[in-house]
Amino acid sequence: MSRDLRQGVCIFSINFSCFCFISAHPDFSQQDNVEKYANIDYFVDEVEEVSKLLGLEDFFLLGHSWGGILVQEYALKYGEALQGIIISDMTDDIGSYVKNINREREELLGSKEIAFMEDCEARQGYTDPRYRNNIELLNSKYIMKHPENASKHVISTKNNFLYNYFQGDNEFVVKGALFGWSLQDRIQEITIPCCLIFGDDDSMGLEEAARMEERILDSKLHVISDAAHCSKVDNPAEYFAVLGEFVSSH
């Protein structure tokens, strides 16, 4: 959460940190815990609970990637609490994301490597060195171009169960609970100011981003240059200039 951009302005930011670090780690070997905690509604309500505990009112909510899903769902359920939203590097339809990453895989690696990767995925061979190398190539092009800008951690901060449960093994295969998620038929119900931010080489398709701008009445799309899915890491100067302009104008 930040109050740095402007006095009296609160930006509540959510991303995959919801899956990691000091967040609670229930015993997910217990099916009751999976059913209770591993669902979008739980996380949306958790955002609301945190905002209430912090006494936030009329605030901006920013969500990157998974957080962008929660922003959309939260705006539809608790939109009256918001002054505006920032959907960062996240589509409103997982199907469009799958279509885009399949295109990116083909363009970067070629049909021979894609056939090999699909064979690995069919037999759960995600640890194959050749497969992992292909994923690293894809990550460096479409996920994070400038890892030198990223935060460094001395301990692992990832909750692997939740990532694998919702997404799958990596960013370029969606076989988890998010498969089939879509708000395309409801996104137009969001009427508060909305800033859409995508990287110019994002794993989320820019064509779908443009359609989101059309569907959300009071929205504007910004494409960050020299940036992939982690656009705020790849090009922070441009990213935060866009963010600051949006907040200041509302």
Between the CA of residue 80 and those of 58, 75, 163, what are the distances in Å? 8, 8, 30
- Least Cα distance to 172 among 135, 127, 130, 120 occurs for 135
With 0-12 CB in 10 A as exposed, 13-18 as middle and 19+ as buried, what is 37? middle
pTM: 0.91
pLDDT digits (tens, 9 = 90+) for 71-96: 999 999 999 989 999 999 999 999 99
pLDDT of res. 21: 58
Lowest mean pLDDT among 137-141, 150-154, 171-175: 150-154
CATH architecture of 1-250: 3-Layer(aba) Sandwich (3.40)
* Cβ-count burial 149-181 (b if 16+ within 10 Å, e if not): eeeeeeeeeebebbbebbbbbbbbbbebbbeeb
User: Which residue is listed with tokens 């229930």?
Assistant: 26
* Spatial distance between the Cα atoms of 68 and 70, rounded to a whole number of angstroms: 5
pLDDT at 17 over 50: no
